[in-house]
Amino acid sequence: NAGVTQTPKFQVLKTGQSMTLQCAQDMNHEYMSWYRQDPGMGLRLIHYSVGAGITDQGEVPNGYNVSRSTTEDFPLRLLSAAPSQTSVYFCATRGRGGNEQFFGPGTRLTVL
Amino acid sequence: GQSLEQPSEVTAVEGAIVQINCTYQTSGFYGLSWYQQHDGGAPTFLSYNGLDGLEETGRFSSFLSRSDSYGYLLLQELQMKDSASYFCAPNRDDKIIFGKGTRLHILP
């Protein structure tokens, strides 16, 4: 079992470009979340989903879109990248009623 | 509203004991989790408290007081490999919010 996978591991974008960060899990977990981590800011929740077809905004949703068409995948879309979106992005999953959240390895994004 | 407070940095000596405190305020709270993150890595789950009291897992223990909206992580017999950031995270049914974390420095 791969657990939680994220692609790409590293990405450099120019301001205004769009891209999708991929997150996939084979743990059959209902809950999936996206966090960003910046120095000194901890982990901030961007968007989350409690099941296929259901998404909701977290603490810092502006500039990001998500969709959840399947249980396994939860892509994060940057429609028009900005330097302020330079960060490390983590995807995480959790089973319904579970207490432990499992994190992917992260995507390191730089926006020039 | 929602708030989460933990010290930004803590320093301790190898072999000693250290306590990292956490105070929180969040709606829909049902438990408190702790995560560890080494530099360059992803957060990993350490412990969870759903009820008041102490939970022990090896060298690590975690405590929760719901009435005080307070918890702590206790690390015993500190090892150099425990140098990392530690996050408390109030669990809600639908989402988990993290704070800024506590950076633990361990001196030899």
Taking an 8 Å cut-off on Cβ atoms, the answer to whether A99 and B101 are in contact is no
Beta-bridge mates of residue B61: B56, B74
A21 vs A33: CA distance, rounded Å: 13
**Residues 6 or more apart whose Cβ sits within 8 Å of residue A45:** A33, A34, A35, A58, A59, A60, B95, B96, B97, B98
Question: Are A46 and A61 contacting, i.e. CB atoms less than 8 angstroms apart?
Answer: yes
Provide the pLDDT for residue B66: 94
Question: Are B33 and B89 contacting, i.e. CB atoms less than 8 angstroms apart?
Answer: yes
Residue of A nearest to B87 (CA): A42
Other CB atoms within a 10 A radius of the CB of residue B54 amount to 11
* Preferred mutation among B33, B97, B103 to probe A, highest tally of A CBs within 10 A: B97
* Preferred mutation among B4, B96, B100, B103 to probe A, highest tally of A CBs within 10 A: B96
Provide the pLDDT for residue B1: 66
pLDDT in tens, A65-107: 999 999 999 999 999 999 999 999 999 999 988 889 999 999 9
pLDDT in tens, B69-98: 999 999 999 999 999 999 999 988 788 999
Question: Are A71 and A30 contacting, i.e. CB atoms less than 8 angstroms apart?
Answer: yes
Provide the pLDDT for residue B26: 84
Check if A42 contacts B (Cβ < 8 Å). yes
The pLDDT confidence band at residue B42, using thresholds 50, 70 and 90, is: very high
Provide the pLDDT for residue B46: 96
Region B52-65 average pLDDT: 95
Taking an 8 Å cut-off on Cβ atoms, the answer to whether B45 and A42 are in contact is no
Query: Assign residue B58 a region: left if phi > 0, alpha if psi is -120 to 50, beta otherwise?
Result: left
pLDDT in tens, A11-45: 999 999 999 999 999 999 999 999 999 988 899 99
